[in-house]
Amino acid sequence: MSSLSNIYIKVETLETLLKVVKAKAEKGLSIDISISDEANKYEQNVTAYVTQTKEQREAKKERFYVGNGKTFWTDGKISVLKKAETHDATPIAKEEEADHLPF
């Protein structure tokens, strides 16, 4: 194992996530986690947000942030995935139907 991190998610955010997943009639939700090399003023270096489609990223749509946290242990060896091992989680619901939802 290369690192251990934690993320804190507020109850209000969990409720919003659940409401949107149910409104879109999805079975779940994909979350991206970013680990920075440097911590912010709260000593946090981990950020989680709802995965965006390629179209959403290209349109510079604002991310829906889920929570923040920090890495509390690492051996300094984080492997990089090869391109073939990565995947793009595409939402099931049509974006037009979900324009009024936060993500």
- In sequence order, what DSSP letters do the residues of 35-76 get, joined into one string? E-SS--TTS--EEEEE---HHHHHTTPPP-EEEEEEEEEE-S
Choose between 1 and 14: higher pLDDT: 14
- Report the domain count for the chain: 1
Residue 98 lies in a domain: no
The pTM for the full model equals 0.74
68 assigned to some structural domain: yes
Please indicate, yes or no, if residue 85 is contained in any of the structural domains: no
pLDDT tens for residues 27-81? 999 999 999 989 999 999 999 999 999 999 999 999 999 999 999 998 888 776 6
